[in-house]
Chain A
Amino acid sequence: SAVISQKPSRDICQRGTSLTIQCQVDSQVTMMFWYRQQPGQSLTLIATANQGSEATYESGFVIDKFPISRPNLTFSTLTVSNMSPEDSSIYLCSVVRTAFRTSGRGEDNEQFFGPGTRLTVL
C-alpha cells in the first residue's frame, strides 16, 4: 500500500493569487500524478511528476498555469497560478504500485490517492 498526505487540506483564495499544494508519499515512487476533480465531476489527469525531469502535462493543462516540482522520490508540489473561480476544485495527488499476481493473471496496478486539497477561489 501507500500512505499519501497533502497540505493544505483546504483553502480559500482570492482571484489572481497562487497556491502551492504539497504531496508526501511514505515510500519512494518514480512517478506521481496530479488530478483535478471539480464538484460533482470525474477525475481529470493534470500532469505526471517525474523525478529528475520535467513534468509531462495532459492536453488542456500548461506548465505556466500548473507548475510542478519533484525534488525527490517521495515529494511533489503543484502550484495553481493566477487563480480564477474556475480553478475551484479538489486537487489530488496519486501514485501507482505494481505487483505481479500469484494467480498468474498478469500484474496488478493499484492506484492510491491522497486525501485531496479543496480549493475555493473567490
Chain B
Amino acid sequence: GQSLEQPSEVTAVEGAIVQINCTYQTSGFYGLSWYQQHDGGAPTFLSYNALDGLEETGRFSSFLSRSDSYGYLLLQELQMKDSASYFCAVRGNNFNKFYFGSGTKLNVKP
C-alpha cells in the first residue's frame, strides 16, 4: 500500500518563499508528483520527480530524495493566486497509477 504525509495547512505572505513537504511509504516507487487545486476546480499538474534532486519550472521547484522517501514543493515569489490546496502523489508502479496525499492548504496573505 501507500502512505503519504503532508502538513494540513501553511500560511505565508505575498512575495515570500514557502516549502511544502511530503514523506511517503510505498511498496514500490517510480516517482513523485505535485498538483495544485483551487476551490471548485480540478487538480492541475505542477511537476514530477523520478530522480533525486531538483526540478524547476518557473516559480515552482520540486525536490526528491528517494533514500529519505521525501520530497518537497518550493514556491517562490508567492502571489495571492497561489492560495490553493497542494497535493503530492506517488507513482507506485509502472502503470501510471498515482496515489495522493491528504493535501496542504496554502494561504497567501498580503
Contact = CB atoms under 8 A, between A and B. Distances in A.
B37 to A, nearest CB: 9
A110 B48 contact: yes
A109 B51 contact: no
Interface stretch (A11-19, A79-87, A112-120): A112-120
Interface in B75-110: 87, 89, 91, 95-103
B55 interface: yes
B18 interface: no
Contacts of B31: 109
A106 B33 CA distance: 14
Interface string B15-49: 00000000000000001010100000111110010
Interface string A72-113: 000000000000000000001000101000000111111111
Interface residues of A, number: 24
Contacts, number: 59
Given A109-B48, A110-B48, A115-B42, A42 B100 contact: yes
A24 interface: no
Contact of B45 (A42, A98, A105, A112): A112
B50 A107 contact: yes
A115 B89 CA distance: 19
Contacts of A92: 42-43
B7 interface: no
A45 B97 CA distance: 8
Contact of B97 (A42, A48, A105): A48
Interface of A: 31, 33, 41-45, 48, 59, 92, 96, 98, 105-116
25 contacts: A31-B96, A33-B98, A41-B102, A42-B101, A42-B103, A43-B43, A43-B89, A44-B100, A45-B97, A45-B99, A59-B1, A92-B43, A96-B96, A98-B96, A105-B50, A105-B51, A105-B53, A109-B31, A109-B50, A109-B96, A110-B45, A111-B45, A112-B45, A113-B42, A115-B42
